[in-house]
Amino acid sequence: GAGVSQSPSNKVTEKGKDVELRCDPISGHTALYWYRQRLGQGLEFLIYFQGNSAPDKSGLPSDRFSAERTGESVSTLTIQRTQQEDSAVYLCASSSSPNTEAFFGQGTRLTVV
């Protein structure tokens, strides 16, 4: 597609429920990143996929967070048993190679009530 697409754009969920966020990267981009941005703060790295290599999960804040990517296409970020502190904008980005700039999606705004 023309850009990185994320869905849903907004998600309100009850505390304790599981949520799944989706990211469609730019076609042909081998690298895919997930970040979290809490209100008024900078971007916090979550996870990085590069081709078929094992993902870099070093930024995942707890075992309630997981992500998958099928080949070089869609990625899903799953948050289990959501907590209020999970409320944030979740941003996905892709790049054509590890050393080029990243293109960001519009994000999914997650609100846990």
Partner 1 sequence: AQSVTQLDSHVSVSEGTPVLLRCNYSSSYSPSLFWYVQHPNKGLQLLLKYTSAATLVKGINGFEAEFKKSETSFHLTKPSAHMSDAAEYFCVVKGQNFVFGPGTRLSVLP
Exposure string over 61-91, b if 16+ CB within 10 A, otherwise e: eeeebebebeebeebebebeebeeebbbbbb
Among 41, 52, 70, 84, binds partner 1 (CB under 8 A): 41
Element (H or E) spanning 73, and its range? none
In three-state secondary structure terms, 31 is strand
59 binds partner 1 (CB under 8 A): yes
Asked whether position 102 contacts partner 1 by CB under 8 A, the answer is: yes
Helix, strand, coil: what percent of the chain each, to 5?
5, 50, 50
Cα 98 to Cα 33: distance, rounded to the nearest angstrom: 11
Interface region with partner 1, contact rule CB under 8 A, candidates 15-23, 37-45, 67-75, 76-84: 37-45
Q: Which segment (10-18, 64-72, 75-83, 93-101) binds partner 1 by CB under 8 A?
A: 93-101
Instruction: Assess 38 for contact with partner 1 (CB under 8 A).
Output: no
Q: Is 99 in the site for partner 1 (CB under 8 A)?
A: yes
Residue 55: CB minimum distance to partner 1, A: 11
CB 36 → partner 1: shortest distance, Å?
11
